[in-house]
Structure 1
Amino acid sequence: MGQTESAFARITPTLSPEIKKLGFPQRFVASFKPSWVNSPALLLSEPGSDPSFIISMTNGRFDEMVLHSGPTKDDAPLANAKPERYRRNYTITLPSSNSSARQELLHFKPGFFRDKIWFEMEVGGEKGCRKERFEWKKSYGSEIRSVGGWSGWKLVRVKNEERNKVVENDPEKVMNQDPEKIMEDTPNEQDGSKSGRDDIVAVWADATMSFLKVGEFQFQGAGATGEFGQVWALMAVLSCMCVWQKYEYEMYMQSMNSNDPYPPPTSVTISWQTFLEYVQSCKNCTGASEDFLIR
């Protein structure tokens, strides 16, 4: 473990000239990179374009992640993320104006109805720095459908008056509340009815019926204007991938503890021979075709 920590500590993210000039893409697709070796990585590409960035994973797909400034692992790191013990939080290291790295925390707080996932950081740049809070919320609303998905996550800018609002996680206290108040504060999972009141700055749509594609990301609202700066954009992207990784890990562990005869492979970046064997096993079990799984 000491060796892994040392390798992580040696990574010093820097803003590439391209990011400083052009910024991060407004919209991108994240897909696993096919590989003959067990070295998982995610390719980030604008729709219809070649990959522009890569996220490497240092010790398997559920461990530390490094966002690189280009499509190969040899490109300089832009940011990196490391899960803390039990994945309660993620430490995300970002580029700083001085030589030292800048670290931010992505917080995960379990809730009775839903988990609370948030980060707080200084944003602004040329217009002046100020500290703001942002929260990832599960969504099935129109903002997810706008990027071709039906379920995913939205990144919401938290209003100042809501920053100190306490989320009640005690089941007994929650059940003693007025049921109408509970329903009012709980998002409608079918139509995302609370989305109209949220200041959405980015969205992530989970991919379906695809073996390699994992999802699609898009900046929206103030997040698409550059108002928060380039470092915030990197935080938004990498925090999104942390959310994806955390819940992928939880689903994987649930499947390994179940009686599912075909649990997910330990790494999606497997050899094509193993991939075809996996497809064949799925065909025998469900009648699915290779085209259905790859699409």
Structure 2
Amino acid sequence: MSLHPHTLEVMNLNVALPRGQRLLRDVSLTLEPGEVRALVGESGAGKSMIGKAVLGILPPAVKVTDGEILLEGRNLGTLTDTTRRTTVAKSAALIPQDPLTALNPVKKIGPQIVDPLIRIHGWSRDTAGTKALDLLDRVHIRDPKRVMESYPHELSGGMRQRILIAAAFAPSPRLIVADEPTTALDVTVQKQILRLIRELQRETGTAVLFVTHDMGVVAKISQKVTVLFAGKVMEDAPTRQIFTDPQHPYTRALIAATPSYADLNRPFSPVPASLIAELHGDIRQDDLRYGEVRAR
């Protein structure tokens, strides 16, 4: 168990493009050991940007301009690039959205799991290989030895995603960023993958930052939810409260826009354009105030 009260602490994080356009606006959140927190919002809300900022994999033109990120009590912004990469690699892992592009198409599965374990943790090839086989078995992959000798294109989308889950959990990280890991999968496989992540997360006590645009997924997997719009936190609350007593109009609109399989006759209810315009107006005012503060 971690000695630190929070696995992850993000405080007043601002991320911007070179000309100053903010992509994240004063984002703050905490993630406790063993907790699953969902980041939810429409495309472009900044969900994945938070995960990338934490892992230190922002696009080259995008920079953290303000705020702090603490991983198990260590302020990542105070570390050298090399120390930060080492710290994050040993304590955190990523489950990416698209397993086909995340895996090297000309390299067998075995080395893609084993080599990082050797490089990051200094394990022997035998130890890393045994760990990889064990994890593939735990994610319910039949004949793990055959899969280790396979290329990504020889496997189904569901199997590739299971492999990425195994690779993420293999080194027993304290934090996993799951970046919409079910988006590219059909509904049946989605359910299996969600169950699998929750199962492994409970077994290992790993904290998970789960990025999604799907409120149905939020309800199934998370204990807490951060609702984002245009890089700004609209609401932050326990999952039960988000669904039973949402406080922000945008949260209520997102829930209303979620299709109901229990009531197929219910008309589709998109987020009102008037609400979007109002929120954009608030954010423009926010950016003006932020510019004034930065100029002083």
Alignment TM-score > 0.5, same fold: no
Higher normalized contact order (CA 8 Å, seq sep 6+, divided by chain length): 2
Structure that is richer in strand per residue: 1
Q: TM-score, normalised by structure 1?
A: 0.29
